[in-house]
Structure 1
Amino acid sequence: MEIINKIDASGIQTLDLRSYKPDENDVIKFDIVPFLIEDFLLQEKAFRSAMSAIDWTQFTGKDVVILCSNDAIVPLWAYVLISSLLAPHAAIVVYAATGNYINLLWTERIRRIEFSAFINQKVVLKANSSIPEEILVLATSQLTKYVQTLMWGEAGSPLMIYKRK
């Protein structure tokens, strides 16, 4: 008698959003403070000179967070300049005023999923309480554009969330 795996036979694909979560060690933090005079004053000429001296290729393919680690008042154009210099090299560039940059990067990674690979598929979002609501909502809003069926939980006993009519 042959044993049949009903989960495999069902054609359900499991999407584990945790696999898109950035690892703290893979994130490069670009702190603007070392480029400020006495850590608080941005002088345009010196700042532009410092930015032009950086080898931006070191950020190729990396997730980069631009931040200011103190209370300095930095003109917005400085962040725009840094972002424009990073953009041709880095995989993802975000700004984080707080320590929650991991979720910002995670969100960007979810946005970059090729959801069209799930056209007319049965997909279960793997349940895990460590996945933030904003990640779940974003993935769900994208998946429902493509999937036939969206479920939550485990492939063996999923909870029906959405079914295309």
Structure 2
Amino acid sequence: MAETLTNRVAAAGLITLKLEEHWPKASFGTFDLKDYLFMELILKEKDFRAALKEHDFSQYRDKILLVFCSADAIIPAWAYMLVAAAASPFAADVYQGQEEDFLRDHFRRVADSLDLSDFEGKRVVVKGCGEKPVPASAYLDVTARLQPVVKSVMYGEPCSTLPVFKKPRERK
């Protein structure tokens, strides 16, 4: 008598949450204010405005423009405002900070936007080890967001998971 094989992973009723699928669609461009500093110390408004007029912001078309200063200088808030005003007609998004900062904030918004009713009382596997480097903070944020509503949270692949959280059984 042949034994019937059962797919225990499918039968377990797991929901797999793939954070990598929420990776930003646009590529990144960078704008380092260091290149516009006088003696790598200060930003002169008149010179900066002139340089911005000469800068080709169309190169950031449909990109996420990361605006930062890699030099140890105090940058006035208006400098970021001027860059945003010049880049906004072209860029998909303009962000003050570097890629790591953007991704941390992006995935926080992803966690905050999850429809928790989709996960109510379910067993959730948060997939790890993808092709794109999802920041560790994303795993923290999604766990904190899911924990109040799920039955359990696991990390890894449905066939090999690491338990993270399991809701205690209610006593009758």
* RMSD between aligned residues: 3.7
CA distance in 1, matches of 2:66, 2:37: 18
State TM-score, norm by structure 1: 0.67
Match for residue 14 of structure 2?
Answer: 12
State TM-score, norm by structure 2: 0.65
Give 3-state SS (helix, strand or coil) of 2:126's partner: strand
Match for residue 141 of structure 1?
Answer: 144
AA at the equivalent of 1:45: K
Match for residue 155 of structure 1?
Answer: 158
Contact preservation (8 Å) 2:103, 2:135: no
Question: Are the structure 2 counterparts of residues 160 and 44 from structure 1 closer, same or farther at C-alpha, using a change threshold of 3 Å?
Answer: closer
CA distance in 1, matches of 2:52, 2:165: 49
The 5-angstrom pairing of residues 54-133 of structure 1 reads: 54-87=55-88, 89-96=90-97, 101-113=98-110, 114-116=113-115, 118-120=118-120, 121-127=122-128, 132-133=135-136
CA distance in 1, matches of 2:93, 2:15: 27
CA distance in 1, matches of 2:87, 2:64: 10
AA at the equivalent of 1:139: V
- Which has the higher mean CA deviation after the structures are superposed, 109-118 or 84-93? 84-93
CA distance in 2, matches of 1:86, 1:9: 51
Size of the alignment, in residue pairs?
159
Q: Confirm or deny that 1:35 pairs with 2:75.
A: no
CA distance in 1, matches of 2:141, 2:85: 26
CA shift at 1:153, angstroms?
A: 3.3
- Which has the higher mean CA deviation after the structures are superposed, 112-121 or 39-48? 112-121
CA shift at 1:161, angstroms?
A: 0.9
Contact preservation (8 Å) 2:108, 2:138: no
CA shift at 1:146, angstroms?
A: 5.8
AA at the equivalent of 1:6: R
Question: Are the structure 2 counterparts of residues 52 and 141 from structure 1 closer, same or farther at C-alpha, using a change threshold of 3 Å?
Answer: farther
- Structure showing greater Rg: 2
Q: Deviations over 1:98-150 (max 9, x none)?
A: xxx3431221331342411744343212355x765423212222334664542
Give 3-state SS (helix, strand or coil) of 1:42's partner: coil
CA distance in 2, matches of 1:88, 1:36: 24
Give 3-state SS (helix, strand or coil) of 1:79's partner: helix
- Percent identical among aligned pairs is 30
Query: Which stretches in structure 1 are left out of the alignment for 5+ residues?
Result: none
Query: Which stretches in structure 2 are left out of the alignment for 5+ residues?
Result: none
CA distance in 1, matches of 2:87, 2:148: 32
